[in-house]
C-alpha cells in the first residue's frame, strides 16, 4: 500500500466486476487504517490501494497513472512534516480538476475526522468533489457510503472492460458470420 504497485487494469474479480484503483491521500495514520480496512473488507485488493500522506506525494502518484477513486483528506500538509490545512487540499483539487496538470481520478471523495473541517472549507470543496465523508472514531455512516461507491465503481469498470457497444454472436461462419463481416464500413478486429 505505501508506494505504488502496478495492477493489471483488466484483472477480473468474478461476478463483482473489476477492481477499482484507489488513491488515499491522508496524513492521519489511524484514519487511513480504518479506510483501507473497509476497502479490503468490501473486496478491494490490497495492491489496488495506494496511500500517500501529503499533497506533493499525491501529485506524483496522479502524474504517473490514472485512479478510479481518490479519497482526499480535507486537511492536508503540502509535504511531509508541514502543517495540514484545507487550502492545500483545495489547491490540489483545482490542479486536478481545473488545470489538468495530472491524471484526474474518475471520482474524488473528501474525507475528514474533524467535524468542522468540511464546513470551514465548504466553498472550495463544493464543486470539486463528489461528496465529503466524516471518518471519525465511532462514526460508521461513511462505511456504507464508501461501500456503495465501490460497488458502483466495480459495475462501471466491468462494463468498460468490454470496449464495445454491441456484440454480434453467430453460431455458423456460413451463412451467418460472412454477411456480417462483409457489411460496408465495418471495421472488424
DSSP 68-87: SEEEEESSB-SSTTSPPBHH
- What is the distance, to the nearest Å, from the Cα of residue 72 to the centroid of all Cα atoms in its chain? 10
Q: For the whole prediction, is pTM greater than 0.85?
A: no
17: which 3 cell numbers?
Answer: 466486476
| Pairwise pLDDT comparison (17 vs 31), residue with the higher score | 31
The answer to whether residue 60 scores a pLDDT higher than 70 is yes
> How many other C-beta atoms can be found within 10 angstroms of the C-beta atom of residue 63?
10
The answer to whether residue 61 scores a pLDDT higher than 90 is yes
- Please name which of 15, 30, 28, 21 lies closest in space to residue 1, comparing C-alpha atoms: 21
The pLDDT assigned to 142 comes to 92
The pLDDT assigned to 17 comes to 52
CB 77 within 8 A of CB 88: yes
CB 104 within 8 A of CB 61: no
Give the C-alpha separation, 125 to 146, whole Å: 18
The pLDDT assigned to 9 comes to 35
CB 141 within 8 A of CB 110: no
The model's pLDDT over 117-159, given as tens digits with 9 standing for 90+, comes to: 767 777 667 777 768 888 887 888 899 999 999 998 888 755 5
The model's pLDDT over 84-125, given as tens digits with 9 standing for 90+, comes to: 988 899 899 989 988 888 999 989 998 988 877 767 777 667
The pLDDT assigned to 116 comes to 78
* Listed range (48-57, 66-75, 77-86, 112-121) with the worst mean pLDDT: 112-121
Amino acid at each position: 500500500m505505501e508506494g505504488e504497485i502496478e495492477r493489471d487494469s483488466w484483472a477480473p474479480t468474478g461476478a463483482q466486476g473489476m477492481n477499482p484503483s484507489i488513491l488515499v491521500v491522508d496524513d492521519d495514520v489511524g484514519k487511513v487504517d480504518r479506510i483501507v480496512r473497509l476497502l479490503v473488507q468490501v473486496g478491494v485488493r490490497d495492491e489496488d490501494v495506494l496511500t500517500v500522506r501529503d499533497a506533493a506525494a499525491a501529485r506524483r502518484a496522479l502524474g504517473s497513472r490514472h485512479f478510479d477513486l481518490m479519497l482526499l483528506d480535507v486537511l492536508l500538509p503540502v509535504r511531509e512534516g508541514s502543517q495540514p490545512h484545507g487550502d492545500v487540499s483545495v489547491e490540489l483539487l483545482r490542479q486536478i480538476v481545473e488545470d489538468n496538470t495530472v491524471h484526474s481520478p474518475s471520482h474524488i471523495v473528501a474525507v475528514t475526522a474533524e467535524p468542522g473541517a468540511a464546513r470551514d472549507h465548504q466553498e472550495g470543496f463544493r464543486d470539486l468533489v463528489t461528496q465529503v465523508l466524516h471518518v471519525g472514531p465511532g462514526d460508521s455512516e461513511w462505511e456504507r457510503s464508501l461501500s456503495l461507491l465501490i460497488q458502483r465503481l466495480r459495475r462501471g469498470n466491468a462494463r468498460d472492460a468490454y470496449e464495445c457497444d454491441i456484440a454480434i454472436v453467430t453460431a455458423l461462419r456460413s451463412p451467418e458470420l460472412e454477411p456480417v463481416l462483409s457489411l460496408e464500413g465495418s471495421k472488424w478486429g
